[in-house]
A and B are shown apart, each in its own frame.
Chain A
Amino acid sequence: MSSIRELLILLISSSLVSNVVLSQFLGLCPFLGVSKKIKTAAGMGTAVIFVITIASAVAGLIYKFILQRFGLEYLQTIVFILVIAALVQFVEMFMKKAIPSLYRALGVYLPLITTNCAVLGVAITNVQKEYDVVTGIVNGFGTAVGFTVAIVILAGIRERIEYNDIPNAWKGMPIVLVTAGLMAIAFCGFSGLL
């Protein structure tokens, strides 16, 4: 079991220093696709925090108590992707029934997350770095917070870019990617933090 101090450091490093989108390139599709408006970007970010935190907890428990116990570690990729897909469906149904207000706010984004590679990426990273369940959850939460920070900032910049005069060939995706590149340079500055 790691100390609180170690967990805090992990939280900062997973959210800012090795940002999931800007330095690991996971979850690029929603990062580029759902970042036109701050409001929707924030919604997507919240849904990702929700799903990744739960998914890393479930994947961690399954790995420890089922796969490791029976020596089935090599099945991790297959098991994790199926568990995540089922989990997202289940969370959606549960939310619809039990917490309708939360479902109205996040429901739209849940199906989009199933194929988001950040979720699977976190689950596999947790296993590869041999984190225990609690550390894994903290890592998942930090990663998702990093995703949210990045997508909200990008959405804010994109709202401004909308009115700029851009050369024809660079309109749309290219200018968004340049923006993401500049953000990545800015996030490199965090590497001196720890």
Chain B
Amino acid sequence: MNESWERLYNGLVKENPTFVLMLGMCPTLAVTTSAVNGLGMGLTTAAVLALSNLLISLLRNVIPNRVRIPAFIVIIASFVTVVQLLLQAYIPTLNAALGVYIPLIVVNCIILGRAESYAYSNPPIPSLFDGVGMGLGFTIALTCIGAVREFLGTGYAFGVKVTPDSFTPIGLFVLAPGAFFVLALLTAVQNYVKAKGAKKGKDTSKIQSGCNHDCLNCGDSACSTRFYDEEEERDKG
């Protein structure tokens, strides 16, 4: 049981996929126009993440090493399809609000990253809790960002008006540019915390921006940026 709690804590705080690892930025920016949308997207992703982690962990001795990435993708895509059909049937409003970003959960690097770096080499129960922890960490982050953008952009919180009439909302924050500014602020805070931690001699190697530092956590099979950077170095030399 201890290990399961450790996995939950790890996903929620220590390696929070959004605030610490900075993974899966496309949905983070796109759907956080309101707190409810962020919550819905987060929970949908969490469900897919927990189920795919569980199944991949159960099948880890069956899937050959060389074809593991395509196998992961098929498993993840199947769960996404199931979740999408369930949403269409039972919560059509959320399905309409999230639109194309539901099928795009397939290419969310958090899910492939957890499959690659945790579920494929660990037993089912810790893997399930790892997925739940990471998923809830993602959900909380998305809800927070959504709430901030909704409050600044419309003056509402979770769809309820909380500001007096004299408050003029900054409409920019619910539009596309606002998403970039909120994320910029978030990465700046992250940089600051990282620099401060490094000064005190803490291990800050886990804190990163995007998938350009740790290929294992990214799960991007082609290892995009590193691959590219090496190529560039060779061109120089």
Q: Which residues of A contact B (CB under 8 A)?
A: 22-30, 32-34, 40, 74-78, 81-82, 85, 108-109, 111-112, 114-117, 120-121, 124-125, 128, 168-175, 177-178, 180-182, 184-185, 187-188
Partner of A115, one of B29, B99, B212, B222: B222
Contacting A at CB under 8 A, from B187-213, are: 187-189, 191-192, 195, 209-212
Partner of A178, one of B80, B81, B181, B192: B181
Q: Which residues of B contact A (CB under 8 A)?
A: 25-27, 29-30, 70, 73-74, 77-78, 80-81, 84-85, 99-100, 103-104, 106-107, 109, 112, 172, 175-181, 183-185, 187-189, 191-192, 195, 209-212, 220-222, 224-225, 227-228, 231-232
- What 6 A-B pairs have minimum CB-CB distances, sorted nearest first? A181-B180, A177-B184, A111-B222, A184-B177, A174-B188, A25-B30
In the complex formed, the residue of A with least CB distance to B99 is A128
Partner of A112, one of B29, B112, B191, B222: B222
* Chain A residues whose CB sits within 8 angstroms of the CB of B172 once the complex forms: 185
Q: How many A-B residue pairs have CB under 8 A?
A: 149
Q: With A23-B176, A34-B228 in contact, do A78 and B181 touch (Cβ < 8 Å)? A: no
A178:B231 contact, CB within 8 angstroms: no
List 5 A-B pairs, Cβ < 8 Å: A25-B27, A34-B225, A78-B81, A120-B106, A181-B180
Known: A33-B225, A115-B224, A181-B179. 10 other contacts (CB 8 A): A29-B225, A74-B81, A74-B85, A77-B103, A112-B228, A115-B112, A168-B191, A170-B184, A181-B181, A188-B177
Question: How far apart sit A33 and B212, CA to CA, in the bound complex (Å)?
Answer: 7
CB distance from B83 to the nearest CB of A (A): 10
Interface on chain B toward A: helix, strand, loop, or mixed SS?
helix
Q: With A34-B224, A169-B191, A171-B191 in contact, do A120 and B180 touch (Cβ < 8 Å)? A: no
A32:B210 contact, CB within 8 angstroms: yes
Question: How far apart sit A94 and B102, CA to CA, in the bound complex (Å)?
Answer: 33
B176:A25 contact, CB within 8 angstroms: yes
Question: How far apart sit A30 and B224, CA to CA, in the bound complex (Å)?
Answer: 8
In the complex formed, the residue of A with least CB distance to B103 is A77
B26:A28 contact, CB within 8 angstroms: yes
Question: How far apart sit A34 and B210, CA to CA, in the bound complex (Å)?
Answer: 12
CB distance from B90 to the nearest CB of A (A): 16
Partner of B227, one of A82, A111, A174: A111
Partner of A124, one of B27, B104, B227: B104
A28:B25 contact, CB within 8 angstroms: yes
Question: How far apart sit A77 and B228, CA to CA, in the bound complex (Å)?
Answer: 28
Q: With A25-B29, A184-B176 in contact, do A177 and B183 touch (Cβ < 8 Å)? A: yes
A188:B188 contact, CB within 8 angstroms: no
A128:B100 contact, CB within 8 angstroms: yes
* Chain B residues whose CB sits within 8 angstroms of the CB of A170 once the complex forms: 184, 188, 191
CB distance from B225 to the nearest CB of A (A): 4
* Chain B residues whose CB sits within 8 angstroms of the CB of A187 once the complex forms: 176
B221:A115 contact, CB within 8 angstroms: yes
B26:A26 contact, CB within 8 angstroms: yes
Of B84, B189, B220, B227, most A-chain CB atoms within 10 Å: B220
Partner of B107, one of A74, A120, A180: A120
